[in-house]
A and B are shown apart, each in its own frame.
Chain A
Amino acid sequence: MIVIGVIYLLIMIMDFYPIIKHKKVKHLIINLMFIIPGLIFLFLAAKGIIVKSWITIIWEFLKSLGISY
């Protein structure tokens, strides 16, 4: 899984090359804002750690308030 993630990141060089070439700092920061959590998720997936989605968390909260079918 890590290998596939790395392959994808290599493909992303296509995006990073013009950003670094034209020194677009804002774009770089936004890209990192998605890449870093993506790497965390990749690590979790590789370890087989199951994570609850935010919808499940909100649903359980709504259920505790009695708002559920």
Chain B
Amino acid sequence: MKKIFILVFLLLCSLFLVGCWDAREINTLFIVTGIAIDKSEQEGFFDVSVIGIKTSPSRGGSQSSDDKDKKIVLKTTTRSIRDAFFHLNLNYDRTLYLQHNQIVIFGEDVAKDDLHRHLEFFVRSENSRMETLMLIVEGRADEVFKMDVKQEQNSTIYLFTHIQTISRRVKHYKISVLNFIANLLTEGFHSVIPIFAVNKNDDDDMPINMTGFAVFRNNKMIAKITDLEALGFVLLKGDVKNTNRTIISYDGMVSFDFDDIKTKKEIIYKDNYPIKIKITIEITARVEELLGFEKYSIQDLNRELHNIVQQEIINVATQTFKYFQELKVDVFGIGLSIYQHHPKKWNNLRNDWDNIFASLEVEINPKVVIKDYGQIVSIYNPGGVK
């Protein structure tokens, strides 16, 4: 009798107590893959756009303004992110589902203003994930959703895949909400976020240009670094699998691939006060392209290329470091290093660290090993003297 009662009870449980309140059918969800936030023309308001993928096939004969009928963009203008999602949920037939959100894109204006007020939602909400990537775009963020991407379903999936690909080589391109918040909370450290521009040329199948990094002091973007400074930043940060640099000298042009970039920092103190930073940059280089240098023998070429690359690293790294010193923004974690290993010294330095950082002398010591010259052992010079 008891066993029958238990069996009936269990059957009733399995019938009535499985996902009743929390049942989520896919055809009731709008799967958000990207969020874009821009400043609105109305003071104190923001334009929030979300892009998602269609979860059911389109019906024949229906009109759609979206390319390939795969992406849907929803927009609203509100005071806060939470308000935006509330309005979108109210006015759309499906519920916004944030668990697959890949990227949050901020327009340049928003980044210069205050990012923290927008990140609050992503940190606090149970529906959002902290590993969502962050990007800054030159101009307006909602332009990204208009991009025509042939390779992927929509532009945010394209961006996400793009960042994943680059970050396998240079991990500093991958900044998640968690990373940025952790950097904001970290003493003696300021953050950067990758910045890109939308390619307005419709004939070009590469819809974005990764221009460099946006530099932040606390919550606000204060500068951008591109090209040379971006390379210098990557060299000084270290922990990079692969990047490349083409150097033009008097004798020719050489293109190096830099592998396994490691950086060590040594802080020199005087009377417990940091005065100098010695940065050792260890690089394994490979020659990928070599033009000119005909007058050099193999041994002399090795020496000459070694000198060229060392000098280039010193120039680039020093220039970049001085640029950040002018901005008074320690993105390299020198203050963090003092905080982690000498907390008592840090107590005396924390209030004026930005100025102390700006006054540090820097010495760059590159340690370059040119591992190989590719598949050929001599200079490729068709028709010339060997």
Contact = CB atoms under 8 A, between A and B. Distances in A.
Does a CB–CB distance below 8 Å link A and B in the complex? yes
Interface size class on chain B is under 10
Interface string B1-21: 010010001000000000000
Majority secondary structure, A binding face: helix
Contacts of A14: 2, 5
Contacts of B9: 11
Interface size class on chain A is under 10
Nearest to A11: B9
A14 B4 CA distance: 13
Contacts of B2: 14
Interface string A1-27: 000000000010010000000000000
Nearest to A13: B5
A14 B1 CA distance: 11
A11 B9 CA distance: 10
A64 B45 CA distance: 46
Nearest to B9: A11
A14 B2 CA distance: 9
Nearest to B2: A14
A43 B2 CA distance: 31
A6 to B, nearest CB: 15
Interface in A17-59: none
A2 to B, nearest CB: 18
A14 B5 CA distance: 10
A13 to B, nearest CB: 10
Nearest to B6: A14
Contacts of A11: 9
A14 B9 CA distance: 12
B104 to A, nearest CB: 36
A11 B2 CA distance: 12
Interface in B203-237: none
A4 B14 CA distance: 17
B75 to A, nearest CB: 38
B16 to A, nearest CB: 11
A11 B12 CA distance: 13
Nearest to B5: A14
The 3 A-B residue pairs with the shortest CB-CB distance in the complex, in nearest-first order: A14-B5, A14-B2, A11-B9
Interface of B: 2, 5, 9
Interface of A: 11, 14
3 contacts: A11-B9, A14-B2, A14-B5
